Amino acid sequence: MQLVQDEEEDISVAESLDDDGLPSLELSPESKDRGREQNGNKDRVIEAAEGSFVSDFYRSGTDWSCLLEKNTQERPPERKLKQTNLFELWGFKKPDDSNAKPRVSSLSLKRTRTQWISVESVNDRMNPKVPCLGNRSNGGGNNLRRVCPFYKKIPETSFTVDAFRYGLIEGCSGYFLSHFHCDHYAGLSKRWSYGSIYCTPLTARLVKKFLLVNPSFVHPLELDIEYVIDGIKVTMLEANHCPGAALVHFRLENGQCYLHTGDFRACKLMQSYPLLVNHRVNVLYLDTTYCNPKYRFPSKEDVLDFIVKTTKNSLKRHPKTLIVVGAYSIGKECVYLAISEALGVKIYTNASRRRILQSFDWTQLSGKLCSCGEETPLHILPISSLRPETLAEYLKTYKHKFTAVLAFRPTGWTYSEASGNQLDLIKPSTRGNIMIYGVPYSEHSSFLELKEFVQFLRPDNIIPTVNVSNAAHRDKMQSYFQEWLKVSPQWKVSPTSTRPRVN
Ligand SMILES: [Zn+2]
């Protein structure tokens, strides 16, 4: 089946870790371009302040090479990974070694508001004799196995987030999935047997239906409900990304709170989430896809208005225009839904995408879908196919009905500083009767939204999760965080209260 990708991400795959314990990446051409863009002004590389949390562990000088198992065939499968003292380096208590041992007791999962649910111990299902091969393709022919980077592990717990491509992670009893984009679920398949998967109910449906993961491993957690898993309070919060995407909030018995954003677009509504208002976040794992001041793209609403206006104008001039929206299998639904509602037309897409969209249980969207391309001028295609030659071929299929194509490629990467927030300045690329607009509709936070979110949350520490493979990027991001926190008020203030947070 078609992979569900999120092009807005640094989707390069880590095969090994660099000296800082971060992914050592062979960047795709697109990622390299992004890297150049983001690192364009090399004279302005900003040094991270000495002694800061992140610079400490990025520069810790720890011998991370012990995390690489260079030849899995030569090593006995039951040999343990040395974790050195990573947690101590970050100032956290080292997780209890007992977490790494198979247990015979059952794992209790408490749904605090409603009922207790007991499930079979995940450790019982993890066969310790199975080599830690995971789902991986080395590609280069070497025998390095992928090792889970530290920033995917939640300190003082036996949990990881979006860490499926590493196979069995020693000591991990709960694998959290933030959302159903392939750069986050990579490694999940019907062969998954390494432990319990926690995600939102929508993501759980997709994981079972499209990745064919054994349902006994999949544990849906409702949004805004606090669960207790292995003694840790866990709450999934709406992430304003794609359907089913969640921020994951962990609250430990000792009061420490960790927030992992997965992928998210920060918004004002998040500043009213009670958990975020009432509890200090000690470590924020932050989606830093657009953590660069050049990305100041407009709100989603403004972009939708522009798209609808442009579509209506185009249809006025050329009524036989086919409207094409590029989309990932999941994400950007609001773009074509807005056009559909403004024009009063159905949405055509192929059967496999219809299956995915219908599994959302989003009736407003499901009710608009149709299975005949002749029936509507609004078609959805994979975002990667929005090229003039591909669209010209596609138009031939419908030549009796349509004579031109107006296409939208909605992604934050299309944002240009030249047009800024003035959407009317966007120049489409035109070839013959094919016109393609790149529109800065993003499901990740802009730079200013990141800043506002961090200033609202005031976490003790921030760990970036995207664009971390380059030391200069990491240092720049760290300097932004420090700058933001310098000017924020000492206490976070809720929209309705001036009461300081607890703990
Ligand atoms: Zn995503």
Residue ranges per domain, the chain? 16-294+446-487, 300-439
Give distance in angstroms: CA of 6 to centre of ligand 1: 5
82-96, 129-143, 347-361, 476-490: range with highest mean pLDDT = 347-361
Q: Is the pLDDT of residue 230 over 60?
A: yes
Q: Map residue 269 onto helix, strand or coil.
A: helix
Compute, in angstroms, the gap from residue 114 CA to the centroid of ligand 1. Answer: 31
Residue 492 burial class via C-beta count within 10 angstroms: exposed 0-12, middle 13-18, buried 19 and up:
buried
CB 333 within 8 A of CB 243: yes
What is the SS3 assignment for 188? coil
pLDDT in tens, 118-150: 222 222 222 322 222 223 333 334 456 688 998
Distance 241 CA to ligand 1 centre (A): 7
Model pTM score:
0.73
Identical fold for domains 16-294+446-487 and 300-439, yes or no, is no
Q: Which residue has the higher pLDDT, 59 or 183?
A: 183
Query: Where residue 45 falls among pLDDT bands split at 50, 70, 90?
Result: very low
CA–CA separation, 98 and 121 (whole Å): 14
- Write down the pLDDT at residue 372: 95
Strand order in the sheet with 429-431: 369-370, 347-348, 378-382, 321-327, 404-410, 434-439, 429-431
Distance 27 CA to ligand 1 centre (A): 18
* Band (212; pLDDT cuts 50, 70, 90): very high
Q: How large is the greatest C-alpha to C-alpha distance in the chain, in angstroms?
A: 71
| Average pLDDT estimate for 434-461 | 95
Radius of gyration of the chain (CA): 23
Measured in angstroms, how far is the CA atom of residue 242 from the centroid of ligand 1? 7
Confidence (pLDDT) at 179: 97
Q: Tell me how far the alpha carbon of residue 371 lies from the centroid of ligand 1, in angstroms.
A: 27
Taking 90 as the threshold, does the pLDDT of residue 250 lie above it? yes
Q: What architecture (CATH level 2) is domain 300-439? A: 3-Layer(aba) Sandwich (3.40)
**Integer Cα distance of 72 and 85 in angstroms:** 23
Q: Is the pLDDT of residue 425 over 60?
A: yes
Q: Which residues contact 256 (CB under 8 A, 6 or more apart)?
A: 92, 155, 156, 282
Tell me what pLDDT residue 185 has. 97
* CATH classification for the domain delimited by 16-294+446-487, as one of 3.40.640.10, 3.60.15.10, 3.30.70.60, 3.40.605.10: 3.60.15.10
> Reduced to 3 DSSP states, what percent helix, strand and coil does the chain have, rounded to the nearest 5?
30, 20, 50
Q: Retrieve residue 172's tokens.
A: 């991990």
* pLDDT higher than threshold 60 for residue 18: no
Compute the distance from residue 490 Cα to the ligand 1 centre, in Å.
32
pLDDT band at residue 77 under the 50/70/90 scheme: very low
CA proximity to 412, closest of 307, 265, 280, 281: 265
Q: Is the pLDDT of residue 83 over 50?
A: no
Residue 72 has pLDDT above 70, yes or no: no
62 CA distance to ligand 1 middle (Å): 31
Arithmetic mean of pLDDT, 262-272: 97
pLDDT tens for each residue of 51-62: 333 443 443 322
Asked if 177 and 184 count as a contact pair (C-beta separation under 8 A), the reply is: yes
304: three-class secondary structure by DSSP: helix
pLDDT band at 419 (very low <50, low <70, confident <90, very high): low
What is the pLDDT, as a whole number, of residue 1? 40
Statement: residue 338 has pLDDT above 90: yes
CB 165 within 8 A of CB 137: no
**What average pLDDT score do residues 91-112 get?**
37
The torsion region of residue 168 among left (phi > 0), alpha (psi -120 to 50) and beta comes to beta
Among 127-136, 270-279, 436-445, 452-461, where is mean pLDDT lowest? Answer: 127-136
Q: Is 464's pLDDT higher than 90?
A: yes
**Do the Cβ atoms of 56 and 89 come closer than 8 Å?**
yes
Question: What is the pLDDT, as a whole number, of residue 6?
Answer: 52
Number of Cβ within 10 Å of residue 384's Cβ equals 12
CA of 263 to the centre of ligand 1 (A): 5
Choice between 44 and 431, residue whose per-residue pLDDT is larger = 431
Mean pLDDT of the chain, nearest integer: 75
Interval between CA 296 and ligand 1 midpoint (Å)? 19
Residue 179 Cα to ligand 1 middle (Å): 7
11 C-alpha to ligand 1 centroid (Å): 10
